[in-house]
Amino acid sequence: MSLLSIERAKQRLKRSDNPLLKGLLVCLKALRFGDLPLPKRPYQGLFLTHQLVINSLGYLARVLYWSPLFKSQINHCGKQLYLYGGMPYLAGPLAITLGDRCRVSGHTTITGRGCNPSVATLKIGDNVDIGWMTTIAVGNKIIIGDNVRIAGGAFLAGYPGHPMDAAARAKGLPERDDQVADIVLEDDVWLATGVSVMAGVTIGKGSIIAASSVVTKDIPEGVLAAGIPAKVIRIINS
């Protein structure tokens, strides 16, 4: 039976006024969407079993595989690292130090600038959260202080990856050295979802950057900043 014949049969079934065919259409839709009258209570127990198995396997993978694999690529790793969801993607020459009690998403990308004269350095303090799908591109150095919170989808752009000149980009040449600079997130900084921090920026202690903001210049301590480019909105009262 051709696809055209099947489609014509479906259309006839939908337009039919025959009670039997209407009932058949209802049954076929129920099968298609999985809307079957199955008892709820057995599946409640099955769900708990499913969760127990998945969490147990995830724990074993994290403790016996992903965490040791990640630690093998770090110059120094503090105590109580919580790595969840796999292992971050690492690329380029990098020297990484990680403090105590850090939580890092396995869906994080951390890269070091390949054409640096020296190895790029990423220093992460104690009690730091790095969320899902965050990218940390280390040009020369990125410093993340203690108690920093980085939500999902953030981007620390220590280097752009391409030169400004179109002809140089077409040749596959790297960015110029003057496009590369350090990034510093001082203690207690919070980057909300989707924040981008450009090269050369320092964000002061305790400041919060609102979601989807792009930080192109230094932000003082203890303020809320937002926008593209990010500007100080107000002072945060303790």
Catalytic residues: 162
DSSP state of 136: E
Burial string for 139-159 (b: 16+ CB within 10 Å, else e) reads bbbbbbbbbbbbbebbbbbbb
Residue pair 97/125 in contact (Cβ under 8 Å)? The answer is no
Distance CA 115, CA 213 (A): 29
Report the 3 state secondary structure along 112-125.
ECCCCCCCEEEEEC
- What's the CA angle centered on 48, arms 42 and 49, to 5 degrees? 90
**Structure-token pair, residue 22:** 């209407």
Sign for the CA dihedral angle at 156, 162, 163, 164 comes to negative
- First-to-last C-alpha distance (Å) of the chain: 72
